[in-house]
Amino acid sequence: MTEARPDLKPLAGRVAIVTGAGCGVGEAIAHGLGAAGARVCAADLNPDRTERVAEAILTAGGEAFGWQADVSSKFQVAGLIETTRDRYGRLDVLVQHAHVSPRGDALKLDEWDLRRTVEVNVVGAFLCAQLAARVMADEGGGLIALIVEPPESIALGAAVYATTQAAGGGLA
Protein backbone atom coordinates (compact mmCIF):
# COMPACT_ATOMS: atom_id res chain seq x y z
CA MET A 1 0.00 0.00 0.00
CA THR A 2 1.27 3.44 -0.92
CA GLU A 3 1.26 6.10 1.77
CA ALA A 4 -0.26 9.49 1.03
CA ARG A 5 2.37 12.20 0.85
CA PRO A 6 1.11 15.63 1.87
CA ASP A 7 4.07 17.31 0.13
CA LEU A 8 2.92 16.02 -3.26
CA LYS A 9 0.28 17.88 -5.20
CA PRO A 10 -1.79 15.33 -7.17
CA LEU A 11 -2.86 17.93 -9.74
CA ALA A 12 0.51 19.64 -10.17
CA GLY A 13 0.95 20.72 -13.78
CA ARG A 14 -2.78 20.43 -14.53
CA VAL A 15 -4.91 23.37 -15.61
CA ALA A 16 -8.50 23.84 -14.46
CA ILE A 17 -11.32 26.24 -15.20
CA VAL A 18 -14.06 26.60 -12.61
CA THR A 19 -17.17 28.53 -13.66
CA GLY A 20 -19.31 30.02 -10.95
CA ALA A 21 -16.14 30.27 -8.87
CA GLY A 22 -17.09 33.57 -7.27
CA CYS A 23 -18.81 32.14 -4.20
CA GLY A 24 -20.20 29.06 -2.50
CA VAL A 25 -19.50 25.61 -3.90
CA GLY A 26 -17.74 26.96 -7.00
CA GLU A 27 -15.35 28.96 -4.84
CA ALA A 28 -14.65 25.92 -2.65
CA ILE A 29 -13.93 23.80 -5.73
CA ALA A 30 -11.53 26.44 -7.09
CA HIS A 31 -9.69 26.55 -3.75
CA GLY A 32 -9.55 22.75 -3.58
CA LEU A 33 -8.12 22.45 -7.07
CA GLY A 34 -5.56 25.14 -6.28
CA ALA A 35 -4.56 23.39 -3.06
CA ALA A 36 -4.13 20.15 -5.02
CA GLY A 37 -1.64 21.89 -7.30
CA ALA A 38 -3.77 22.78 -10.31
CA ARG A 39 -3.35 26.12 -12.02
CA VAL A 40 -6.84 27.59 -11.79
CA CYS A 41 -8.90 30.02 -13.81
CA ALA A 42 -11.62 31.21 -11.42
CA ALA A 43 -14.44 32.35 -13.71
CA ASP A 44 -17.59 34.14 -12.69
CA LEU A 45 -19.97 36.77 -14.02
CA ASN A 46 -18.83 39.12 -11.24
CA PRO A 47 -15.24 40.28 -11.91
CA ASP A 48 -14.67 41.41 -8.31
CA ARG A 49 -15.42 37.91 -7.08
CA THR A 50 -13.08 36.29 -9.62
CA GLU A 51 -10.20 38.49 -8.52
CA ARG A 52 -10.90 37.86 -4.82
CA VAL A 53 -10.92 34.08 -5.30
CA ALA A 54 -7.81 34.10 -7.49
CA GLU A 55 -5.98 36.28 -4.97
CA ALA A 56 -6.91 33.91 -2.12
CA ILE A 57 -5.56 30.93 -4.11
CA LEU A 58 -2.34 32.84 -4.81
CA THR A 59 -2.01 33.80 -1.14
CA ALA A 60 -2.38 30.12 -0.20
CA GLY A 61 0.56 29.26 -2.47
CA GLY A 62 -1.35 28.22 -5.56
CA GLU A 63 -1.44 29.59 -9.08
CA ALA A 64 -4.61 31.25 -10.33
CA PHE A 65 -6.19 34.12 -12.19
CA GLY A 66 -9.71 35.46 -12.33
CA TRP A 67 -11.76 35.84 -15.50
CA GLN A 68 -15.16 37.45 -15.97
CA ALA A 69 -17.47 35.50 -18.30
CA ASP A 70 -21.14 34.93 -18.95
CA VAL A 71 -21.41 31.20 -19.70
CA SER A 72 -24.57 31.72 -21.74
CA SER A 73 -22.45 33.45 -24.41
CA LYS A 74 -20.54 31.12 -26.75
CA PHE A 75 -18.08 33.93 -27.49
CA GLN A 76 -17.35 34.56 -23.83
CA VAL A 77 -16.92 30.84 -23.13
CA ALA A 78 -14.54 30.55 -26.09
CA GLY A 79 -12.62 33.56 -24.77
CA LEU A 80 -12.44 32.01 -21.31
CA ILE A 81 -11.02 28.76 -22.66
CA GLU A 82 -8.58 30.40 -25.06
CA THR A 83 -7.34 32.86 -22.42
CA THR A 84 -6.70 29.97 -20.04
CA ARG A 85 -4.84 28.03 -22.73
CA ASP A 86 -2.82 31.11 -23.72
CA ARG A 87 -1.83 31.66 -20.10
CA TYR A 88 -1.11 28.06 -19.08
CA GLY A 89 -0.64 26.22 -22.39
CA ARG A 90 -3.36 23.61 -21.93
CA LEU A 91 -6.71 22.67 -20.39
CA ASP A 92 -7.16 19.53 -18.32
CA VAL A 93 -10.22 20.13 -16.13
CA LEU A 94 -13.48 22.04 -16.52
CA VAL A 95 -15.82 22.32 -13.57
CA GLN A 96 -19.06 23.91 -14.79
CA HIS A 97 -20.81 25.30 -11.73
CA ALA A 98 -22.14 28.65 -12.97
CA HIS A 99 -25.87 28.82 -12.46
CA VAL A 100 -28.75 31.08 -11.51
CA SER A 101 -31.54 30.01 -9.21
CA PRO A 102 -34.57 32.27 -9.17
CA ARG A 103 -36.81 31.67 -6.22
CA GLY A 104 -40.53 32.07 -6.15
CA ASP A 105 -43.74 30.69 -7.45
CA ALA A 106 -43.55 29.61 -11.11
CA LEU A 107 -46.96 31.23 -11.64
CA LYS A 108 -45.40 34.61 -10.89
CA LEU A 109 -42.00 34.10 -12.49
CA ASP A 110 -41.06 36.72 -15.03
CA GLU A 111 -40.34 35.48 -18.57
CA TRP A 112 -36.89 37.12 -18.46
CA ASP A 113 -36.00 35.14 -15.31
CA LEU A 114 -37.19 31.94 -16.99
CA ARG A 115 -35.12 32.55 -20.12
CA ARG A 116 -32.04 33.65 -18.17
CA THR A 117 -32.19 30.55 -15.97
CA VAL A 118 -32.40 28.24 -19.00
CA GLU A 119 -29.67 30.16 -20.85
CA VAL A 120 -27.20 29.98 -17.97
CA ASN A 121 -28.03 26.61 -16.44
CA VAL A 122 -28.66 24.58 -19.60
CA VAL A 123 -27.21 26.43 -22.58
CA GLY A 124 -24.21 27.60 -20.54
CA ALA A 125 -23.46 24.09 -19.30
CA PHE A 126 -23.73 22.77 -22.86
CA LEU A 127 -21.46 25.47 -24.32
CA CYS A 128 -18.82 25.06 -21.62
CA ALA A 129 -18.79 21.27 -21.95
CA GLN A 130 -18.82 21.29 -25.76
CA LEU A 131 -16.06 23.87 -26.22
CA ALA A 132 -13.86 22.41 -23.48
CA ALA A 133 -14.35 18.88 -24.85
CA ARG A 134 -13.22 19.97 -28.30
CA VAL A 135 -10.02 21.42 -26.85
CA MET A 136 -9.43 18.42 -24.59
CA ALA A 137 -9.97 15.98 -27.47
CA ASP A 138 -7.22 17.77 -29.40
CA GLU A 139 -4.94 17.72 -26.34
CA GLY A 140 -5.34 14.05 -25.47
CA GLY A 141 -8.23 14.15 -22.97
CA GLY A 142 -9.34 15.77 -19.77
CA LEU A 143 -12.09 15.87 -17.17
CA ILE A 144 -15.37 17.75 -17.40
CA ALA A 145 -17.60 17.97 -14.33
CA LEU A 146 -21.07 19.48 -14.66
CA ILE A 147 -22.25 20.29 -11.15
CA VAL A 148 -26.00 19.86 -10.71
CA GLU A 149 -28.11 19.83 -7.59
CA PRO A 150 -30.06 16.63 -6.91
CA PRO A 151 -33.85 17.08 -7.08
CA GLU A 152 -34.41 16.02 -3.49
CA SER A 153 -32.30 18.90 -2.19
CA ILE A 154 -34.10 21.62 -4.18
CA ALA A 155 -36.62 23.61 -2.17
CA LEU A 156 -40.27 23.75 -3.11
CA GLY A 157 -41.06 26.81 -5.17
CA ALA A 158 -38.01 26.44 -7.40
CA ALA A 159 -39.64 24.64 -10.33
CA VAL A 160 -37.67 26.42 -13.06
CA TYR A 161 -34.35 25.91 -11.30
CA ALA A 162 -35.20 22.24 -10.62
CA THR A 163 -36.09 21.73 -14.30
CA THR A 164 -32.77 23.19 -15.45
CA GLN A 165 -30.87 21.04 -12.97
CA ALA A 166 -32.57 17.94 -14.39
CA ALA A 167 -31.63 19.08 -17.90
CA GLY A 168 -28.04 19.70 -16.77
CA GLY A 169 -27.90 16.18 -15.38
CA GLY A 170 -28.95 14.92 -18.78
CA LEU A 171 -25.91 16.60 -20.36
CA ALA A 172 -23.49 14.71 -18.13
Catalytic residues: 161
**Residues 97, 29 contacting (CB under 8 angstroms):** yes
Q: Which amino acid, one-letter code, is at 72?
A: S
CA distance 111 to 157: 16
CA distance 49 to 44: 7
CA distance 130 to 72: 13
CA dihedral (45, 46, 49, 55) positive or negative: positive
As beta bridge partners, residue 52 has none
Which residue, among 14, 9, 10, has the nearest Cα to 136 in the 3D structure?
A: 14
As beta bridge partners, residue 41 has 17, 65
